[in-house]
Structure 1
Amino acid sequence: MSFPKVLTEIGGSAFAGCSSLTSVTAEMKIPAKIEENTFDSETALNATLYVPEGCIEKYEVADNWRYFYYIKEIGTLTSIDSATASDAVKEVARYGINGQLLNGPTKGMNIVKYSDGTTKCIVVK
């Protein structure tokens, strides 16, 4: 799960029932406003929250983000051993924050699942 730099707020229960999340990446330098029940308590206890470099303290004291037990900085890439380009990764499903399958991009928060197994949270304006 990854949140973009421009995100400012996530509503309550947005990820309730998503207890299988193993990592959450919050690219915001200022923690977005979240509710106490935005994430399951299992997620806060077991998933790793990745935050921008130099922002750990902000998340450790931020309302409701501080409940994440594991908070780490998004590392800066120092080297690349090898890389391959592929156009094979395709979107396979798109869901609303309530878990409902969407037919295409829908205004608001969209959870997109890709053919390589990755999942991204995208804000559609």
Structure 2
Amino acid sequence: MTAQRVDEAAPYQNPADATLAVEVAAAVEGVAGVAFLRPGLTDRLRSVLGRGAAGVPAGVRMSRVDGDGPWQVEIHVVALRRARTVDVARVVRDTVERRLAALAPTLPAPHVTVTVTGLV
């Protein structure tokens, strides 16, 4: 099977997977020290055009090699300057791992990568 890649150009094919990604995004946004998820081009255009929010934020990318494998999760956040960046990244990773374990307890542990793309 080929990898299912999820990003702005290729929306989630399965609505349950999109819901899972939205849940992960909400968990990340609730982490102390996170200013916001990195916006993508469509998020920026949406704000200029005044459209309502739709879909999964660009700062969350999730893919699985097959239906039985672990999630490969990429998180891109902008952190607050007052917080230690490494601590924010660790808490985000732990939060995503716990949230996915709670939402999909039968799946293998996810592989989570967190990148801090900026500070505000």
**Higher relative contact order at CA 8 Å, sep ≥6: structure 1 or structure 2?**
2
Pick the structure with more strand per residue: 1
Greater Rg by CA: 1
Identify whether the pair has TM-score above 0.5, normalized to the shorter chain.
Answer: no
TM-score range, shorter chain: under 0.3
Q: TM-score, normalised by structure 2?
A: 0.25
Pick the structure with more helix per residue: 2
